[in-house]
Amino acid sequence: MKTFSAKSEELQKDWHIVDAEGKTLGRLATDIAILLRGKHKVTYTTHVDSGDNVIVINADKIEVTGKKGEGKLYRHHTGFIGGLKTFTFNQMMQKDARKVIEIAVWGMIPHNRLGRRQIRKLHVYTGTSHPHEAQQPVAFDSFFSKAK
């Protein structure tokens, strides 16, 4: 028996389109992270970028449960003294709804060179239109909707 190890030249990169309308932020981010890392493929290898490209549309229509709209905080430090900026989920959605999904997905992939390469394959848009029609993306529902 020989152990299979995928090589980046041999892998097939697909395109998936995910509609975020009415979906919960954390559950959606988990599905997107699985697609970006390539863990849904049988050829998954930990040290190789075997993931697919993901297009997220309707990012401005994402939802959170409970009181997270006012309670979930996003913090950013400018680097200057007293430069801590804090935004709630609702403020972030008004400022830039795409950033909310990008931050959630970034927290679910490795924080190293491979993770930075994988996060570049995430394309988030607020409306229903996107410039990736030529890649013929396949619609994606969820990994967990089939288990119910």
Domain boundaries along the sequence of the chain: 15-63+96-140
pLDDT of 148? 42
- The reported pTM is 0.91
Query: Which parts of the chain register pLDDT below 70?
Result: 144-148
Classify domain 15-63+96-140 at the CATH topology level. Answer: Ribosomal Protein L13p; Chain: A; (3.90.1180)
Three state DSSP letters for the chain: CCCCCCCCCCCCCCEEEEECCCCEHHHHHHHHHHHHHCCCCCCCCCCCCCCCEEEEECHHHCECCCCHHHHCEEEEECCCCCCEEEEEHHHHHHHCHHHHHHHHHHCCCCCCHHHHHHHCCEEECCCCCCCCHHHCCEEECCCCCCCC
pLDDT of 3? 85
